[in-house]
Structure 1
Amino acid sequence: MGKVKYILLDCDNTLAQSEHLAFEACADLTNEVMKIHNIDAKYTGASLLEDFVGHNFRSMLRGLQKKHNFTMSDDEMDEFVGRELAAVTAKLSEKAVECPGVTKELTLLKELGYPMSVVSTSAKSRVVASIKKIGIDHFFPDEHVYSAASSLDPPSSKPDPAIYIHACKELGVQPHECVTVEDSKSGATAAMRAGIPCIAYVGIYGIEEGKEKMEQMAKLLTEETKCVAVMYDWAEFQDCLKVVESKL
């Protein structure tokens, strides 16, 4: 084990290929909200992903209200958040797959003695469904799975750094003693605001959207959210970790 005291890992599109599945599951509910509020707009999973990657559904609904100038009551928000969680959790339990190389790297990190936790913006039941489906839940005790939607009162969402600050406090470490891996601008921004060195994982963009998008995200996450290193494949994690530890 090196200088880093804790490895904090995002889940969606970092450990598990889950974002497209999740946004597909919530597109119908989003369009139901639009219809109820007489908004002339129709969303697909892809268009929601483009606008709201890295956000949980509650945060997305807030963004849609602001964008389309309408208001949902707290009860209505809670109802749709609950329905979305059930739909997404069911889909992830059935179809989630790991980001290539994740299991191999987590196994090595455990052998090297690095403690690890999941720190996600998504609801905890959804995160647990993903990590169980891809077979990595044994790396993360239940108490070491942190969710901005479930672990905080009131709930939050990245780019708010609250979930990272909460996780560090619970784990008994300072933010600068950790490292995290994020794939999205909102997640990397949360890490930056919390003072946690961040490795940008952009390989998922190459898998799902192609090389051009992957390179765009590498540039964005390096320049705008100050990620310390860029990881195109999980096989590169050890080299990225060395870069982080050289700066501690």
Structure 2
Amino acid sequence: MSPRPLNASRVTTLLCDADGTLFPSEEPAYAASADVTNRFLAELGAERPYSPTELQAMTNGKNFRAAAQELARGYGRELAAGDLDAWVVQEKDVVTAHLREVLHPDPDVRDPLVALAGRFTLAAVTSSAATRLDACLEVTDLAKLFDPERRFSAEDSLEVPTSKPDPAVYAFAGTALGVTPDDAVAIEDSINGALSAVAAGFPTIGTVQFVAEADRAARTAALREAGAVAVVASWTEIADLLGG
């Protein structure tokens, strides 16, 4: 799909991915999730455990529910709904508790966002569970910038839980907020996230603020390939791009 062009003068709303975009939660989340995921894989018949880095490379941008289903299919298994839900709850609780401990306010994110909140409506659009999103926003001192009514989770907000790159959560957020691709822009760090936003029709800005320096060139190219209209290295650059 060709990327939708960005007309910054018409933008009223920012649809912000959370993990890896508002806070550097992806690496610690995978570190905390690894034990649960490897126990899950062992039940599927995995011959060895996987490192957090390997797991992130395998499933980046997807929530645990989608990742577990994909991994299970790789072993020729279909999970019963009750079994899957039990693993999802276990992983969510472990990861949320860990993120509460390791995340902190970051002025390089909060200060530009405070300025942007004076001009735009801010919404969070994530694959992660709502309780995990709430905890991360709280400990990073961003909660007041994202009203609970403007937090959308592919795990909890939809009638049928899904995950990016499925565009359902972006489509749902747009409808709930009463915005269209003409007046809203998505901010995404992952390839699956960008694919989700682009498929929903929203012009998408890629960000590599929390991507390791050695990986930024490759991620930038991949985000552009996924349809991002621009890729930036900071929230300050996002504010500048939108005319801040």
Q: What range describes the TM-score normalised by the shorter chain of this pair?
A: over 0.9
SS in 1 for 2:18: coil
Kept after mapping to 2: 8 A contact 1:99/1:204: no
Indicate the residue corresponding to 1:168 in structure 2. Answer: 174
* Cα distance between partner residues in 2 of 1:98 and 1:202: 18
Which structure 2 residues correspond to residues 5-16 of structure 1 after superposition, within 5 A? 5-16=12-23
Match of 1:177 among 180, 183, 194: 183
| Alignment deviations for residues 199-223 of structure 1 (CA, whole Å, 9 cap, x no partner) | 1001211xxx323x1011111111x
Kept after mapping to 2: 8 A contact 1:17/1:98: no
Query: Which blocks of at least 5 consecutive residues in structure 2 are unaligned?
Result: 1-7
| Alignment deviations for residues 94-130 of structure 1 (CA, whole Å, 9 cap, x no partner) | 112356611011111122x211100111101001111
Which structure 2 residues correspond to residues 30-109 of structure 1 after superposition, within 5 A? 30-97=37-104, 101-109=108-116
Query: Which blocks of at least 5 consecutive residues in structure 1 are unaligned?
Result: none
- The answer on 1:110 being equivalent to 2:117 is yes
- The answer on 1:196 being equivalent to 2:202 is yes
Amino acid at match of 2:96: T
**What RMSD over aligned residues (CA atoms) do the two structures have, in Å?**
1.7
Per the normalisation by structure 2, the TM-score is 0.92
- The answer on 1:24 being equivalent to 2:26 is no
Give the number of aligned pairs.
Answer: 237
Which structure 2 residues correspond to residues 127-142 of structure 1 after superposition, within 5 A? 127-142=133-148
User: How has the CA–CA distance of structure 1 residues 79 and 146 changed in structure 2, closer, same or farther, with 3 Å as cutoff?
Assistant: same
Per the normalisation by structure 1, the TM-score is 0.91
User: How has the CA–CA distance of structure 1 residues 41 and 69 changed in structure 2, closer, same or farther, with 3 Å as cutoff?
Assistant: farther
Kept after mapping to 1: 8 A contact 2:113/2:235: no
Kindly indicate whether structure 1 or structure 2 has the higher relative contact order, using CA contacts under 8 Å at least 6 residues apart. Answer: 2
What's the % identity of the aligned pairs? Answer: 33
Kept after mapping to 2: 8 A contact 1:202/1:217: yes
Deviation at 1:153, TM superposition (A): 1.1
